[in-house]
């Protein structure tokens, strides 16, 4: 099966080229100057990309399908969530297998492999949430790297649940360093935050907005600083997830200037949402925007600092931390966000985004004049591919790479809404936002799975990705 994508502008993280792309089977086999080769005759299928951008499929390295959290589960299954990802132009997601206290890492791996198997619309891999660091689980890390799980996430937040203390973190980092694996960090001082939460509740401050207000920016930057120091002791690659505080970006920038292999991602919600405009909405509306790290105060200047970090490469990746919970009752799981009515500490942490990211970053980044198209591709696809051992199969359009390709209309204008999206959740955090730039066609390893607004793939198109170790130095 050969497909010719003709007449488009191929954009990679470095190049912007007028070129025809020839796909054979699952891979890109050739690129050529438009009209220079008569591939059309030979192709099974020809897609006209005139006036469109031809970009690598998005890579979302931070999703939580079906995640158990706070007595319920994230509302998107691997099936519904991965299909929404496809609609949004994301052809690879890296989800988190979870080792809970008392389990082995292999338990977590097996459980999550089973949940995903046969259900995904896009290719997928797993990071391992290391929820129980001990002699035995440290030994399992090598086995997991062999299975393609080459990154391990630790939590400085959520004491008593997923929290690791600095000793466990250091041990896990040392082990990861020996395996050339990546350490991912949820960097918030959860121990201090828990004191603030308890005191807020004691004062009767129970509304959703207090979720944000009891997680001050310096609790994130403190943990980021500490994670960097521990990673320096261990000599390991560190990747700080869902960064939202300008003070934390400054810690990353300082470490990177010193040459440490330290990285960080942010998410669209931190670039577009704020306490003032969203979390502090009256009644329980703010619960829609409850996630951790929290949405922060616009007046403190975090959004500008995050955009600047993306432009300056102090932030390397935009992920989603997709972890949706319904505001109204979930059809099978019952109460979700409402578990926290009257007590913000019981609101499940998380919000939907896997479908929004690639398009939203074009709108805010490229249309907004903050980054160019190459950088857009880099932060939404290429950087994550290199960071998480998916390159060169994923993250680029090049000879030999997987034909994960998005045809993107840079001029289309539309309005974001729960009515329009496909994630299994009953609200959009971007409801009513008018954006420019739209995914038109999505190809996964040579097969078109989204055509216009129609999903034309099949359940189980997505394959498990055995990932390599990190292939970027800085």
**Which residues contribute to the site for a copy of itself (CB under 8 A)?**
10, 12-19, 22, 24, 27, 29-33, 36-37, 159, 165-167, 170-171, 189, 191-192, 194-196, 216, 218-219, 221-222, 225-226, 229-230, 232-233, 250, 253, 256-259, 308, 311-314, 371-372, 375, 378, 382, 392, 396, 398-401, 473-474
How many residues does the structure list for the chain?
474
Closer to a copy of itself by CB, 77 or 374: give it.
Answer: 374
Closer to a copy of itself by CB, 1 or 195: give it.
Answer: 195
Residue 406 CB, shortest distance to a copy of itself, in Å, is 17
Selection from 418, 379, 282, 463 nearest residue 55 by Cα: 379
Selection from 379, 353, 383, 381 nearest residue 366 by Cα: 379
Residue found by looking up tokens 């990309």 in the block: 49
Chain-centre distance for alpha carbon 434: 22
Closer to a copy of itself by CB, 232 or 300: give it.
Answer: 232
β-strands 405-415, 317-318: how paired?
A: unpaired
Closer to a copy of itself by CB, 401 or 428: give it.
Answer: 401
Residue 306 CB, shortest distance to a copy of itself, in Å, is 11
**Do residues 462 and 82 touch, judged by C-beta distance below 8 A?**
yes
Residue 167 CB, shortest distance to a copy of itself, in Å, is 4
Residue 349 CB, shortest distance to a copy of itself, in Å, is 19
Residue 99 CB, shortest distance to a copy of itself, in Å, is 20
Chain-centre distance for alpha carbon 424: 17
Rounded to 5°, the CA angle 98-100-102 comes to 145
**Do residues 183 and 214 touch, judged by C-beta distance below 8 A?**
no
Residue 382 CB, shortest distance to a copy of itself, in Å, is 6
Residue 218 CB, shortest distance to a copy of itself, in Å, is 5
Selection from 76, 71, 73 nearest residue 322 by Cα: 76
Closer to a copy of itself by CB, 25 or 452: give it.
Answer: 25
Closer to a copy of itself by CB, 140 or 251: give it.
Answer: 251
Closer to a copy of itself by CB, 18 or 453: give it.
Answer: 18
* DSSP tag of 285: G
Give the H or E element holding residue 376.
Answer: helix 373-377
């Amino acid at each position: 099966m050969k497909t010719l994508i003709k007449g488009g502008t191929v954009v990679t993280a470095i190049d912007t080229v007028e070129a025809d792309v020839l796909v054979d089977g699952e891979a890109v086999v050739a690129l050529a100057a438009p009209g220079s080769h008569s591939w059309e005759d030979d192709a099974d299928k020809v897609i006209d990309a005139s006036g469109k951008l031809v970009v690598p499929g998005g890579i979302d390295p931070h999703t939580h399908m079906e995640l158990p959290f706070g007595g319920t589960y994230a509302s998107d299954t691997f099936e519904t969530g991965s299909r929404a990802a496809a609609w949004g132009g994301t052809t690879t997601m890296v989800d988190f297998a979870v080792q809970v206290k008392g389990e082995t890492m292999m338990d977590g791996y097996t459980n999550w492999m089973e949940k995903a198997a046969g259900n995904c619309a896009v290719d997928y891999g797993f990071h391992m949430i290391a929820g129980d660091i001990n002699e035995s689980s440290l030994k399992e890390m090598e086995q997991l790297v062999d299975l393609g799980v080459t990154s391990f996430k630790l939590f400085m937040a959520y004491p008593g649940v997923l929290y690791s203390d600095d000793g466990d973190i250091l041990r896990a980092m040392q082990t990861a360093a020996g395996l050339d694996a990546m350490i991912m960090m949820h960097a918030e001082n959860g121990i201090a935050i828990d004191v603030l939460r308890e005191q807020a509740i004691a004062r009767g401050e129970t509304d959703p907005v207090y979720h944000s207000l009891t997680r001050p920016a310096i609790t994130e930057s403190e943990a980021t600083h500490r994670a960097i120091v521990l990673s320096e002791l261990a000599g390991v690659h560190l990747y700080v997830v869902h960064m939202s505080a300008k003070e934390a970006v400054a810690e990353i920038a300082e470490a990177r200037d010193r040459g440490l292999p330290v990285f960080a991602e942010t998410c669209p919600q931190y670039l577009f949402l704020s306490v003032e405009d969203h979390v502090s909405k009256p009644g329980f509306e703010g619960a829609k925007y409850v996630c951790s790290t929290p949405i922060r105060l616009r007046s403190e200047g975090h959004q500008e600092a995050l955009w600047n970090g993306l432009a300056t490469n102090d932030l390397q990746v935009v992920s989603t931390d997709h972890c949706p919970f319904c505001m109204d009752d979930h059809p099978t799981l019952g109460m979700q966000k409402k578990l926290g009515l009257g007590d913000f500490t019981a609101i499940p942490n998380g919000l939907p985004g896997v479908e929004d990211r690639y398009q939203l970053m074009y709108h805010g980044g490229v249309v907004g004049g903050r980054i160019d198209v190459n950088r857009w591709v880099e932060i939404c696809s290429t950087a994550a591919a290199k960071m998480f051992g998916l390159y060169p199969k994923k993250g680029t359009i090049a000879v030999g790479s997987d034909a994960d390709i998005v045809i993107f209309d840079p001029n289309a204008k539309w309005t974001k809404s729960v009515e329009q999206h496909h994630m299994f959740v009953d609200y959009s955090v971007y409801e009513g936002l008018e954006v420019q730039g739209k995914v038109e066609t999505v190809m996964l390893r040579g097969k078109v799975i989204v055509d216009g607004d129609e999903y034309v793939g099949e359940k189980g198109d997505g394959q498990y990705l055995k990932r390599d170790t990190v292939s970027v130095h800085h």
